[in-house]
Amino acid sequence: MKRILSLPALAAFVLLGASCSQQVRPVKKTARPPVYVGKVEQVYPSHNYVLIALAGNIYEPGTVLISQSPGREENRRVANLIVTEERMGRARIPADIRSGAVEAGDLVFLYRNLAAPESSGKKDNPDPDNPEPKTDEDGKEVTPPIS
């Protein structure tokens, strides 16, 4: 009788020990998808800037953007852009070309630093994917155009 009681107890201890000995695997963070800003509508190479047709939000002056040629071609064009202070309504914004090559029709995305948030030194904007709502001169919230 003692043997029958000890067998289930032994099995329970083995299962308990096996479950406790498993290592906890760290959860991998999934990469955040790129934030699509719009398309390059016009390029002004003599003045070193582009006009971007927005797909949604209006971005503050100084916001860094990345443009790239559409498709999966081997010699992909990439450019680094920065939003200027000029405003052309809610549907378009001008941006200076900081580096790279850009053509009309290139896709524009919000730049995100790939370094860890602790090492970037920036703590002003906690979530660059969801910028704070923009306001006009009267303090009213500006809503992006509906595409």
pLDDT tens digits for range 91-128: 999 999 999 999 999 999 999 876 655 444 444 555 55
How would residue 10 be classed by pLDDT, with cut points 50, 70 and 90? Answer: low
Q: How far apart are CA 33 and CA 19, in angstroms?
A: 36
Query: Taking a C-beta distance cutoff of 8 angstroms, is the pair 97, 50 a contact?
Result: yes
- Phi first, then psi: what are they for 98, rounded to 5°? -85, -40
What pTM does this model have?
0.58
Provide the greatest CA pair distance for the chain. Answer: 95
What is the pLDDT averaged over residues 40-66?
Answer: 93
CA dihedral 35, 37, 40, 44 (to 10 degrees): -110
Greater pLDDT, 21 or 96 = 96
Beta strands in the chain, from DSSP E residues, in sequence order:
36-44, 49-54, 64-68, 78-83, 92-100, 107-110, 134-135, 141-142
